[in-house]
Amino acid sequence: MIINRYFQTLAHLKIKQVFYRIYYVLRKKITGYPKGYVKHLLKHEYILPQFANGPRLISFIPSDIYFLQNTFTFLNLSKTFSIVDWEHAGFGRLWTYNLNYFDFINQQDVHFEEGLQLMLDFNVDLTDRKAGLEPYTISIRGINWIKFFVKNKELFAKEQWECLNKSLFVQYKVLYHHLEYHLMGNHLLENALSILAGGVWFYDEKLIRESTILLEKELEEQILKDGMHFERSPMYHSILLNRILDVINVIVSTHTENSSIYKLLVEKASLMLGWLKTYIFSDGSLPHFSDSADNVAPKSSDIFDYAQRLGVHIKNSKLCESGYRKFTGEQYELMADYGPFGPSYINGHSHNDIFSFVLSIDGVPFIVDAGTSTYEANERRIFERGTSAHNTVQYQTKEQCEIWSAFRTARIASVYITEENSNRICGYHNGFHPAMHKRSIECNERQITVCDTVSNTASLSSKAYIHFHPNIRVEYADKQLLINNFRINFEGAEKISLQSYKYAAGFNYLVDSVLAEILFTNQLKMTISL
């Protein structure tokens, strides 16, 4: 069983991913990379940007409040340091990475002296940094440092400017030789975007040339025709869109807008903006699917304002290739997921949310995704990626796709849309093979009808799940759910029960809420009347 799981997991990977995973592991074991390489690079002198001269950035989106009075707060967890431990592991690896991203130096309320001291402190033992020298953290920190350099260039002492810019150039050299080909997807795109920003900042033609080649390939593959990032996480879509806008900003500030890569970045950003504008609910909120949580990506309104300041226009987009579909009525907005599980070779952020939907009524969250609260390899992570954490159907105890560990997937379901018009969509998936799950959603002005069919020769039972927002009070009476002036009726239900569950209101932030579990055998019809 375990051997089969590993085989199916590896079968999805590209040969390039496997090669680089083995290569990077062996290189580290044999050479101790990157410590020795960093020591070697630090011995050299480099041509650095002119002190107190150069570009000015258009106002970018400031970071949230992560740093205040020696206390760092990420993922709803806070730690106060007398001396910053850049490898602090008490809150998990993702918290450590956030500490090393250096988003906090671009908060509105962080003074230059505070940001400078944190950068100098990080740089003291650069060769001994572990999390800080991983390629993803270099990628994000690199752009944050460049933004801080440009914003405060008149305030640096010459020796500070030269010291930190040399450090950043060395970090970019490390990143260039450790591109995340073993992971690919959003990681590789972050690498390429940051190297381009670094190349422009340091006037390094090699970095610009190589990042341009990589970006031309990755942007074409990773940005779908309807404008969504192909991993289909709304949160990562927003994060990457903001990063592309930052790189456009750096290019504009150096007056190199005539480059082909600038035009490509603007084109893709315009399309991504169009998808985001179509996808969000009218109150600006981001319906959550896959790995997605509040207070991680910038707000949609801030992204739109940033793009406007840069002169990047929104290109009209219709939800299509991403698989998401939006329906609106007199009082409600509904978003449904009829897309694939994710790219077969990088689906660590995908969830078993095929045919799941979320519903907002009068601008208030009503039916919600259970959310994402952790990236640690634990029971909660398995639950949040699992079928029962989403507003869909589970056949017996089978999962739509076989997920394991924090980001692994073995068996993957195929999804098919069989019928679609302006107010109805129907499709099926084969994740419960030999049983098939078919779901149709039909939306009228004041009524939503969801029909499920699970075809199986054994006529075994299935469960449909509905997760309510913590602020919603639900009652069960006469085989229907009552919520204020709304009601949900069921046909074909054998048993309906209300149970408690933990709603992820953010990373490491769980709130008690209620879900409905509906037991049925072959067919179930759910009608939401408003």
Residues 175-184: tens digit of each pLDDT: 999 999 999 9
Q: Judge if 308 and 340 occupy the same domain.
A: no
**CA 65, CA 72: separation in Å to the nearest integer?**
9
Q: Which of 276, 294, 317 is the last residue of a domain?
A: 317
pLDDT at 56: 80
18 assigned to some structural domain: no
* CA pair distance 131, 381, nearest whole angstrom: 22
CB 399 within 8 A of CB 498: no
Nearest CA among 461, 419, 411 for reference residue 440: 419
Sorting pLDDT into bands at 50, 70 and 90, what band is 48?
Answer: confident
Residue 2 domain-assigned? no
* pLDDT, tens digit, 9 for 90 and up, residues 458-493: 778 999 999 999 999 999 988 899 998 889 999 999
Q: Is residue 421 part of a domain?
A: yes
> Is residue 521 one of the residues assigned to a domain?
yes
Res 51: pLDDT: 67
Which CATH number covers residue 209? 1.50.10.100
Residue 484 is predicted with a pLDDT of 83
Residue 1 has pLDDT above 60, yes or no: yes
Give the integer Cα–Cα distance in Å for 110 and 132. Answer: 21
Q: What is the DSSP string of 75-109?
A: TTEEEE-SS--TT--TT-HHHHHHHHHTGGGGBTT
pLDDT for the residue numbered 37: 95
User: Binning pLDDT at 50, 70 and 90, where does residue 53 land?
Assistant: low
Looking at the fold, whether 425 and 514 belong to one and the same domain comes out as yes
Residue 235 pLDDT level (bands cut at 50, 70, 90): very high
Q: Phi and psi (nearest 5°) for 361?
A: -120, 125
Band the pLDDT of 52: cuts 50, 70, 90: low
pLDDT at position 500 is 98
Question: Which residue among 178, 193, 215 closes a domain?
Answer: 178
- Is residue 282 domain-shared with residue 353, that is, in the same domain? no
In a domain, 16, yes or no: no
Query: Are 295 and 331 within one domain?
Result: no
Task: Decide if 201 is inside a domain.
Answer: yes
**Residue 11 within any structural domain of the chain:** no
Residues 368 and 293 in one domain: no
Among residues 271, 297, 317, the one where a domain terminates is 317
Domain, as residue range, for 106: 36-155+173-178
Residue 446 shares a structural domain with residue 498: yes
Does residue 352 contact residue 387 with C-beta atoms inside 8 Å? Answer: yes
pLDDT of residue 49: 84
Q: How confident is the model at residue 2 (pLDDT cuts 50, 70, 90)?
A: confident
- 294 and 388 both lie in a single domain: no
Q: Taking the model in full, what pTM does it have?
A: 0.97
Number of domains in the chain: 3
Check if the beta carbon of residue 347 is closer than 8 Å to that of residue 356. Answer: no
Q: Is the pLDDT of residue 394 over 60?
A: yes
Q: What is the CATH number of the domain that holds 522?
A: 2.70.98.70
pLDDT, tens digit, 9 for 90 and up, residues 290-343 = 999 999 999 999 999 999 999 999 999 999 999 999 999 999 999 999 999 999
Residue from 436, 384, 394, 391 nearest 415 by CA:
436
For residues 391 and 419, give the distance between their C-alpha atoms in angstroms, rounded to a whole number. Answer: 20
* Residue range 197-212: mean pLDDT, rounded: 95
For residue range 420-446, list pLDDT tens digits in order.
999 999 999 999 999 999 999 999 999
Cα–Cα distance, 281 to 234 (Å, whole number)? 12
Mean of pLDDT values over 109-121: 96
pLDDT at 25: 96
Question: Do residue 276 and residue 207 come from a single domain?
Answer: yes
Does residue 167 lie within any of the structural domains? no
**343 and 204 share a domain?**
no
Question: 205 with 86, same domain?
Answer: no
| pLDDT single digits (tens) 153-173 | 999 999 999 999 999 999 999
Phi and psi at residue 275, to the nearest 5°: -65, -45
Other CB atoms within a 10 A radius of the CB of residue 462 amount to: 23
Mean pLDDT over the full length of the chain: 95
Q: Is 310 found in the same domain as 338?
A: no
Q: Are residues 313 and 328 in the same domain?
A: no
Q: What percent of the chain has pLDDT above 70?
A: 99
pLDDT at 389 over 80: yes
